[in-house]
Chain A
C-alpha cells in the first residue's frame, strides 16, 4: 500500500496568513493526487485533483503543486471559511489511500 503522510497535523494560523500543507507519498504517484477540505459534521469537498488542477467553483486562493512523492497545498490568504481539516488522497494505485489530515485552526 502507498502511505500518505501529511504535515503538520495541526496548524494554528490567522486570517490573511499564507498556509502550506505538505503531503508525502511512500512511493511515486506521478501527479495522481487529490486534496479535500472537510468541515465538522460535513462530507469532504474536493479542492484539487491531478495535484494542481482546481476543481470548478473552488476559490483561486487554493493551489497545489508537486509530483512524484512530494506535494503541497497552499492557501494564499486564509479566509474565515477556510478553517477546516484538509486531506490528501492518492489514486495512482489501489488501495487508494488518504493522508491522516491537517487541521487548520485559529491561532
Chain B
C-alpha cells in the first residue's frame, strides 16, 4: 500500500525559505521509472505542478519557479524534500506530494502553508 505524507511549517514569513518533507511508504525511489512530485493549490484555485525527482535523480522543475525551487531525495529515509526560497503571500497554498508512475497515481493529504508577516 502506497502512502505519502507532507510535513513542514504551516506559517512562514515573506522572504523566508520554505522546507517541506514528503515521507512515503509502500515503494522505493530506487525502483526504475518511479518518481515523487510536488504540486500546489492556492485556496479556491487550480493545481500547479512544481517539481519532480525520479529514481535516477533526474530532477524537473516548473520553469516559472525554477530559480526558487530545489528538490532532493533521500532513498534510505524514504523522503523527498522540497525547498522554495523567497516566499511571498501569493505562495499561500496547499502543497501536495505525489507518487509518479508517468502520472500522479497516489497523493498525500496535503499541507496548507500560509505566507504572512
Determine whether the beta carbon of B103 is less than 8 Å from that of A95: no
Determine whether the beta carbon of B46 is less than 8 Å from that of A98: yes
Number of A-B contacts (CB under 8 A): 52
For residue B16, give the distance in angstroms from its CB to the closest CB of chain A. Answer: 25
Report the contact-size class of chain B (Cβ under 8 Å from the partner).
Answer: 20 to 34
Q: Is the interface of B mostly helix, strand, loop or mixed?
A: strand
B62, B102, B104, B109 pick with most chain A CB within 10 angstroms: B104
Contacts of A46 in B (CB 8 A): 103-106
* A contacts with B, residue count (CB < 8 A): 23
Determine whether the beta carbon of A44 is less than 8 Å from that of B60: no
Chain A residues proximal to chain B, CB less than 8 Å: 1, 32, 34, 36, 38, 42-46, 49, 55, 87, 89, 91, 94-101
Chain B residues proximal to chain A, CB less than 8 Å: 37, 46-49, 52, 60-63, 96, 102-110
